[in-house]
Amino acid sequence: MPTALLRMIGQQADALDRMAGLELARPAAVLAAAGRVVLTGTGTSQHAAELGAMMLAAAGLDTRWYPAATWARWDSGPRPGDALVVISHTGETAYAARARAAALAAGVPLVSITGTGRGWPEAIETVPPDESHTYTISYTSALAVLARLAGELGAAGFAAADVARAADAVRQVCAGPDELPVPGRALAIAGCGPWGITAREGALKIREAARMLAEGFDTDRLLHGGAVPYTAADGLVLLEPAADPDGLTAALGAAAVAERVPVTVLAAAGGLPPLLAQIPMTVRLQLAAERYARLRGQDPDAAITGAWDTPELWQMGAPGS
């Protein structure tokens, strides 16, 4: 019986086509009027904020991203002229909700990205609730919205037709083989720039779905100590080494081979700009997570269980807590 995770993965291309057709002139105008745009989210939504900041920067905006807890509790707060982008699929993520509440109370211009029916009036709504604890379709849909906002603001390569091409690339990924070997112990995923963000998102999916040790790295961080524990019992996945202007990603792969660490290289989908190419690459890693879960006898749809699922933990940091 297919997992909910696999069903969600298979629905992403159609969801991306819907995101390509959204009317986003109004939220784009909010961001265009800002002196600085701050993007924030938690977990997977933080990764969307990171890539979204790069997309909006391509449109000439001054952008920053923060983990929602850091922005809500540890930063000095918004400056005059700021606008805030809050990303939360559920609308219930504690620190994202706190960041939003503080922005509303202070009159900070706000754009939110949520799933459908979450009750945030200012939100750009994407897709119904993810049916698996291992979130997939909500993430790629949020990336598509952020890309379309960048396109509305004048960035090249983020038009509706470009997002539709990313949807076609996702269909090709879902129709193709999943070539990632299963490591005996742990898996490292690494890439440069935006590929490093996708490495961290992919590792998170594998941890959640398959309950196995996976870590995502920016290439430079892997070099500076991250690679030390890896042995022949592990695996290293390199994301699009050809995108590295310094050749460091490929060179680290060669070093891993010399240390007998198995290395797999994943190349980007052809013809997409680097930031949009993160979407089909993410889907490749999602598919690996689902396959690993089946091979390991794990339920990827109930990732958060036991004491980790205590409601009080998930409410800490929420507005009013």
3-state secondary structure 282-319: HHHHHHHHHHHHHHCCCCCCCCCCHHHHCHHHHHCCCC
Q: Could you give the C-alpha distances from 142 to 6, 27, 33, 68, 292, in angstroms and in order?
A: 19, 14, 22, 16, 25
Residue 179 has pLDDT above 80, yes or no: no
- 227 forms beta bridges with none
Q: Could you give the C-alpha distances from 249 to 50, 128, 191, 223, 232, in angstroms and in order?
A: 20, 37, 6, 9, 19
d(CA 321, CA 311): 12
Element (H, E) at 37: strand 36-41
Per-residue pLDDT, 320:
84
pLDDT mean over 145-157: 98
- 238 forms beta bridges with 190, 265
Residue 269 has pLDDT above 90, yes or no: no
Q: Which residue from 8, 70, 61 is spatially nearest to 30, judged by alpha carbons?
A: 61
pLDDT mean over 193-220: 98
Model confidence over 69-96: pLDDT tens digits? 999 999 999 999 999 999 999 999 999 9
Model confidence over 32-45: pLDDT tens digits? 999 999 999 999 99
Tell me the pLDDT of the chain averaged across its residues.
Answer: 97
Per-residue pLDDT, 12:
98
Residue 307 has pLDDT above 80, yes or no: yes
Per-residue pLDDT, 97:
97
List of domains in the chain: 4-174 (3.40.50.10490), 179-295 (3.40.50.10490)
Per-residue pLDDT, 185:
95
SS3 of the chain: helix, strand, coil, percent, to 5: 50, 15, 35
d(CA 144, CA 167): 9
d(CA 99, CA 300): 29
Q: Which pair of tokens denotes residue 24? A: 């986003």
Between CA 10 and CA 246, with CA 159 as vertex, the angle to 5 degrees is 85
What is the pTM (predicted TM-score) of this model? 0.97
pLDDT mean over 194-214: 98
- 237 forms beta bridges with 189, 264
Residues near 303 by beta carbon (within 8 Å), at least 6 away in sequence: 132, 133, 134, 208, 209, 211
Confidence class of residue 169 from pLDDT cuts 50, 70 and 90?
very high
Model confidence over 240-251: pLDDT tens digits? 999 999 999 999
Handedness of CA 240, 40, 110, 88 (dihedral sign): positive
AA identity, residue 262: P
d(CA 31, CA 277): 24
Model confidence over 91-120: pLDDT tens digits? 999 999 999 999 999 999 999 999 999 999
Confidence class of residue 4 from pLDDT cuts 50, 70 and 90?
very high
Residue 289 has pLDDT above 90, yes or no: yes
Order the strands of the 123-125 sheet from edge to edge. Answer: 63-67, 36-41, 82-87, 110-114, 123-125
